[in-house]
Amino acid sequence: MADTTLMANAIRALAMDAVQQAKSGHPGAPMGMAEMAVALWSRHLRHNPANPHWMDRDRFVLSNGHGSMLIYALLHLTGYDLPIEELKAFRQLHSKTPGHPEVGITPGVETTTGPLGQGITNAVGMALAEKLLAQQYNRPGYEIVNHHTYVFLGDGCLMEGISHEACALAGAWKLNKLIALYDDNGISIDGQVTPWFVDDTPKRFEAYGWNVIGPVDGHDVQAVDDAIARAKLSTDRPTLIVCKTSIGKGSPNRANTAKAHGEPLGEEEIRLTREALGWPHEPFVVPQEVYEAWDAKARGAAQEQAWATLFEGYRAEHPELAAEFERRMKGELPAGFAQVAADAVAAAHAKAETVASRKASQLALEAYTAALPELLGGSADLTGSNLTNTSSTPALRFDEAGQPNGGRHINYGVREFGMAAIMNGIALHGGFIPYGGTFLTFSDYSRNAIRMAALMKQRVIHVFTHDSIGLGEDGPTHQSIEHAASLRLIPNLDVWRPADTAETAVAWACAIESRERPTALLLSRQNLPYAPKAGLDDIAKGAYVLAEPSEVGLKKKAQAVIIATGSEVQLALHAQAQLAQDGIAVRVVSMPSTTVFDRQSVEYKRSVLPEGLPRIAVEAGVTDFWWKYRVEAVVGIDRYGESAPAGVLFKHFGFTAENVADTVRVVLGK
């Protein structure tokens, strides 16, 4: 049997050497979790270093991502394409070993873990995806979806409130293949956590409906191994394994201190640590016998081959299921989706209904969820308001044995942040396109997970309804003022604020087709009239010419352009008509997505917003955002709202056709 002490010490040495060379980093957690890693990675984890994307691999999430040298050492030692040169370049520009693990940068990293608590929450999403796919695709004799999701997490993850949201749901969903190993070392940046972290963590997780194993000695490989083996026997509960460890284990003077957490040990302490560990090797030198002990390439190849053989048998007996499973895991849409989308948009245009854009969203979803079994919806306790449920997506429920009922709409409860990060995990796992709803003002709760989806380039769709002061009587706590503008500031996030049913159907289609960007759909509570339009093709470009002066009886060229989004498009059209009575010709541009429009060609953007024409923007939100389009004026709102019926509020804050028309007159000096 391999020398587990040498295997663990290799992790410690690589961690302290890389952090020392970078002159920054967190050596303590990797040094403290080394034996936990030996137990999991060498005795339980099913993975193939030659193919990090094997569909039925176990997922491993390092939720306390500041300890990134742990996973980098493991990936290097087990045989992934992460050579020692990359470890020497830890935290350096363009290396594959950034300060916190980043999916898409380092082979074998499943999710980007930096903000504490989101890793465990992503893992809940991954475990949910595994359970739902298993229920949909496994057949007798063919368990083609059968893997675990393992998480390492620390005190910081458990102190973050999002861990409560996610772990409570994991218990409710009976995610028995989710196994979390808690690095219980009692130290954070500020020192011993006992003055400020007094939770009884085992009882907390028992209350969630988890199995709790331990405390076990986190430095006893066999004890951790046995605990994982017990956890894998669970059929109806996730498991927390409490591992008592010493942060910075092996360091004579830094172990069990906050100094081991987030700074290099220093050359002298590293020398002493090498002596204490009996590790005489130079920095970044690992003996061949240790590499051989860690090497997972042959085992991983055999595990994947066994699965591939199983899958070929499955394909022979269930060819349609096999093809659909592969399509979904690759993230590809069915060949007919483009026609489904075109039909949905055409139907919306033909019906020209006056409905709230949240209802328009549900109408579009009826078509899309029927065509796409991978659409997995949900809402943070606002299903009747967000309208994210459809006839194809009954509520997801689990029986006493933990088996799902086939439902595709998740009741997340009042857990906006947890919902957003769980959706990230679902998307990262593959097989589903997740979407979830709440009020736009509560995007503040979700924001960091939305940012992480954008950073990770994940196809996640946020349905944000009640998008403005149009919410009405609930007042300023619920009325979104700055939220549209602030979401547009997140790089790689597409934001749509559609004006009617056709724009909403297009926005949904674009969100579904967007494989490397998350999307936020901002939708109204109040009814919006359909905006007549000559064509539909340009909606997907984010902005288009909705109405020229000729459409209100003027035969002259436009003297100004009114740019509007969402519910304010109708105000722009009415203002255009009023101005036409005075002989003032204006073009109305609907701009449902500024982010998409900004990616269009210069030629197209100039065709929509011609140079030299004064521009006036109209949106029921803060005005600062709109100056980037070189507008002359903005009809907006730069203060918080009031509690009153929506119609009263719009008039009170100047969102009337008359005020828009008067603003145009002022700009033109009329």
Number of other residues whose CB lies within 10 A of the CB of residue 204: 17
* Interstrand relation of 187-188 and 191-192 (parallel, antiparallel or unpaired): antiparallel
What's the pLDDT score for residue 1?
A: 47
Angle separating helix axes 221-231 and 34-43, nearest 10 degrees = 50
- Token readout for 670 is 């009329």
What's the pLDDT score for residue 516?
A: 96
Q: Locate tokens 């049913």: which residue? A: 501
Residue limits of CATH 3.40.50.970 in the chain: 4-300, 336-522
Give yes or no for a contact between 385 and 414, defined as CB atoms under 8 angstroms apart.
no
354 exposed, middle or buried (CB, 10 Å; 0-12, 13-18, 19+)?
Answer: middle
Is residue 284 predicted with pLDDT exceeding 70? yes
Residue limits of CATH 3.40.50.920 in the chain: 541-668
* Sequence ranges of the binding site for substrate: 26, 261, 358, 385, 466, 474, 478, 525
Fold of 4-300: Rossmann fold (3.40.50)
Give yes or no for a contact between 240 and 180, defined as CB atoms under 8 angstroms apart.
yes
Q: Locate tokens 């796992």: which residue? A: 429
CATH for the stretch 336-522: 3.40.50.970
- Token readout for 10 is 């290799």
Pick the CATH number of 541-668 from 3.40.50.300, 1.20.140.10, 3.40.50.920, 3.40.50.360: 3.40.50.920
Could you read off the pLDDT of 152-170 as tens digits, one per residue?
999 999 999 999 999 999 9
Residue 155's SS3 state is helix
Could you read off the pLDDT of 442-476 as tens digits, one per residue?
999 999 999 999 999 999 999 999 999 999 999 99
Is residue 2 predicted with pLDDT exceeding 90? no
Give yes or no for a contact between 538 and 595, defined as CB atoms under 8 angstroms apart.
no
Distance of alpha carbon 378 from the chain centroid: 14
Q: Sorting pLDDT into bands at 50, 70 and 90, what band is 670? A: confident
What's the pLDDT score for residue 538?
A: 98
Give the active site residues: 416
Is residue 532 predicted with pLDDT exceeding 70? yes
What's the pLDDT score for residue 135?
A: 97
Preceding peptide of 264 cis, ω within 30°: no
What's the pLDDT score for residue 65?
A: 98
| φ and ψ at residue 139, rounded to 5 degrees | -135, 160
Could you read off the pLDDT of 316-335 as tens digits, one per residue?
999 999 999 999 999 999 99
| φ and ψ at residue 540, rounded to 5 degrees | -65, -10
Could you read off the pLDDT of 335-374 as tens digits, one per residue?
999 999 999 999 999 999 999 999 999 999 999 999 999 9
* Interstrand relation of 433-439 and 375-379 (parallel, antiparallel or unpaired): parallel
Could you read off the pLDDT of 206-244 as tens digits, one per residue?
999 999 999 999 999 999 999 999 999 999 999 999 999
* Three-state secondary structure string covering 551-604: HHCCCCCCCEEEEECHHHHHHHHHHHHHHHHCCCCEEEEECCCHHHHCCCCHHH
* pLDDT, averaged across the chain: 97
What's the pLDDT score for residue 175?
A: 98
